[in-house]
């Protein structure tokens, strides 16, 4: 029975990976990309994934925009980003003559169970596709030369203009209608909606790359700086933003990662440093036990996943803080005496001992950054990096392209892993059924 469960899960995971792009938040450096351009392995599966995202984006004749939604946001303004609470379901018990459950029945939460009608809103998926397109196009711009490179940049700038700058099509710099709770009465956005936009930390980095292209313009530059400055203000001053800032789990960590990035980009670097400092003095203090366990995440339905998720944002903040000469988060202890290193070791040991029942590769983004900073005297980080990169096809690990030096001593997706990625799932399914009997 154990095998029957395990292999089909793997099968699903490997197929999903192909359709997904980069990890949630990460720090792309131009130096890393330039190094890859000179020395990188051109058969790297992540490079192939980036290329395919970029070439699909080049062919887009219709840019993404929040105004393309077919469902009008509650305040009637199509320029608002609009999404539904994913785990909310209508409960129409005892309610007579229901013609529209959305406005007549109270909604209740069923944790982990996604209501399929959240897909009726196009803003969340368009937003994600816009980011994946802009990031892959920017990387492709940096890795190429001449007209080919300029084509990638021109498309990226067009997508940024339509999503963030153009007065008629751009998203308003707020998340007042994120993860809206439906039901009778007024529909309001929830604090959780802010997490929908976590991928936007890539935009300032993409801009740094694109600035050198001939497609860049003062108009787009000014528009983007204003957008992220205004959005920072909304994050700091709105009730929803202030609510998230006071939370004790990954929502707060991703919020700080985003806010500090946008403030720095908008030229408000001192404010960015302060935001990180306040986070480190407050929320962070409760985050990691001396054992390395993250108690706010390990109590969730998927403890390994949520601990890795939170670490993704923590390691990102640590790097950002280093770049802007802020506090050194890598070396900072929580009130329990725990550090980021303890948290990584805790998860590495779980993988090493075969105790993880979830997808293990979600550890990769934090593991490579931690190995870069802390080194790897015992060799166990390298061992797990090797293992996890061999087990997946590596296509979603875009960092293997923009941070190629992090792979020193590590093998990327081998030929057998690549071939295996498509066959393994089917093979696994058969094996799983075989072992079940």
Ligand X SMILES: *[C@@H]1O[C@H](CO)[C@@H](O)[C@H](O)[C@H]1NC(C)=O
Q: Is 99 in the site for ligand X (CB under 6 A)?
A: no
Q: How far is the CB of 429 from ligand X (least distance, A)?
A: 30
Rule CB under 6 A: choose which of 20, 102, 278, 282 binds ligand X: 102
Is 169 a residue that touches ligand X (CB under 6 A)? yes
Are the C-beta atoms of residues 255 and 283 closer than 8 Å to each other?
A: no
The C-alpha atoms of residue 118 and residue 67 are separated, in whole angstroms, by 17
- The answer to whether 62 contacts ligand X (rule: CB under 6 A) is yes
168 binds ligand X (CB under 6 A): yes
Residue 94 sits in the site that holds ligand X (CB under 6 A): no
- Shortest spacing between CB 65 and ligand X, in angstroms: 4
Rule CB under 6 A: choose which of 166, 233, 269, 406 binds ligand X. 166
Q: Which of 4, 58, 67, 118 binds ligand X (CB under 6 A)?
A: 67
Q: What are phi and psi of 373, to 5 degrees?
A: -80, -50
DSSP state of 181: B
Of the candidates 358, 66, 28, the residue with the CA atom closest to the CA atom of residue 197: 66
Q: Does 97 bind ligand X (CB under 6 A)?
A: yes
Closest CA to 362 of 431, 315, 296, 423: 315
Q: Does residue 68 interact with ligand X by CB under 6 A?
A: yes
The span of 60-68, 197-205, 252-260, 299-307 binding ligand X (CB under 6 A) equals 60-68
- The count of chain residues that interact with ligand X, using the rule CB under 6 A, is 14
Closest CB 84 distance from ligand X, rounded Å: 8
DSSP states along 251-276: HHHHHHHHHHHHHHHTT-HHHHHHHH
Shortest distance in whole angstroms from residue 82 CB to ligand X: 12
299-to-85, 135, 148, 331, 334 alpha-carbon distances in Å: 21, 34, 49, 25, 19
Cβ partners under 8 Å of residue 421, min gap 6: 14, 17, 392, 393, 395, 413
Contacts of 160 (CB under 8 A, 6+ apart): 134, 203, 206, 207, 210, 220, 224
Which residue, 65 or 321, is less far from ligand X as judged by CB? 65
Shorter beta-carbon distance to ligand X: residue 144 or 166:
166
CA distances to 6, 10, 153, 208 from 428, rounded to whole Å, are 9, 8, 41, 43
Using the rule CB under 6 A, which residue among 117, 230, 271, 349 binds ligand X?
Answer: 117
Write down the least CB distance from residue 98 to ligand X, Å: 10
- State yes or no: residue 63 binds ligand X (CB under 6 A): yes
Please tell me whether residue 217 binds ligand X under the rule CB under 6 A. Answer: no
In the numeric block, the tokens 């608002």 are attached to 80
- Closer residue to ligand X, CB minimum distance, 71 or 419: 71
Shorter beta-carbon distance to ligand X: residue 167 or 408? 167
- The nearest distance, CB 90 to ligand X, in angstroms, is 9
- Nearest alpha-carbon partner for 384 in 367, 400, 399: 367
* Half-sphere exposure for 367 (CA within 13 Å, toward CB): 27
Contacting positions for ligand X (CB under 6 A) = 62-63, 65, 67-68, 96-97, 102, 117, 120, 166-169
């Amino acid at each position: 029975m154990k095998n029957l469960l395990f292999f089909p899960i793997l099968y699903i995971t490997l197929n999903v990976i192909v359709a997904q792009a980069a990890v949630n938040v990460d720090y792309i450096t131009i130096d890393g990309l330039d190094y890859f351009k000179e020395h990188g392995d051109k058969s790297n599966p992540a490079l192939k994934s980036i290329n395919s995202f970029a070439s699909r984006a080049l062919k887009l004749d219709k840019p993404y925009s929040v105004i393309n939604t077919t469902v009008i946001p509650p305040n009637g303004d199509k320029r608002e980003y609009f999404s539904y609470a994913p785990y909310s379901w209508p409960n129409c018990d005892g309610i007579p003559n229901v013609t529209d459950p959305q406005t007549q029945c109270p909604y209740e939460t069923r944790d982990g169970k996604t209501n399929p009608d959240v897909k009726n809103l196009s803003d969340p998926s368009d937003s994600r596709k816009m980011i994946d397109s802009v990031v892959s196009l920017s990387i492709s711009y940096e890795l190429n030369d001449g007209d080919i490179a300029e084509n990638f940049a021109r498309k990226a700038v067009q997508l940024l203009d339509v999503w963030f700058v153009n007065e008629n099509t751009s998203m308003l710099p707020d998340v007042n209608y994120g993860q809206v709770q439906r039901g009778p009465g007024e529909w309001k956005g929830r604090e959780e909606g802010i997490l929908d936009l976590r991928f936007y930390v890539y935009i300032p980095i993409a801009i740094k790359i694109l600035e050198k292209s001939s497609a860049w313009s003062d108009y787009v530059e000014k528009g983007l700086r204003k957008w992220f400055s205004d959005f920072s203000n909304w994050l700091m001053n709105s009730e929803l933003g202030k609510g998230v800032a006071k939370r004790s789990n990954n929502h707060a960590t991703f919020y700080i990662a985003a806010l500090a990035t946008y403030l720095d980009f908008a030229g408000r670097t001192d404010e960015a440093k302060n935001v990180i400092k306040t986070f480190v003095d407050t929320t962070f203090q409760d985050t990691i036990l001396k054992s390395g366990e993250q108690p706010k995440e390990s109590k969730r339905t998927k403890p390994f996943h949520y601990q890795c998720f939170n670490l993704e944002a923590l390691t990102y903040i640590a790097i950002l803080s280093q770049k802007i000469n802020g506090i050194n988060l890598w070396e900072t202890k929580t009130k329990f005496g725990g550090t980021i290193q303890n948290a990584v070791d805790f998860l590495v040991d779980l993988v090493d001992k075969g105790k993880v029942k979830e997808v293990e590769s979600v550890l990769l983004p934090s593991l490579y950054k931690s190995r870069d900073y802390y080194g790897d005297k015992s060799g166990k980080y390298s061992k797990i990096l090797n293992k996890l990169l061999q087990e997946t096809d590596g296509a979603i690990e875009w960092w293997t392209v923009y941070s190629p030096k992090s792979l020193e001593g590590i093998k990327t997706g081998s030929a057998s892993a690549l071939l295996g990625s498509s066959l393994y799932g089917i093979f696994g399914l058969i094996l799983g059924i075989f072992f079940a009997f």
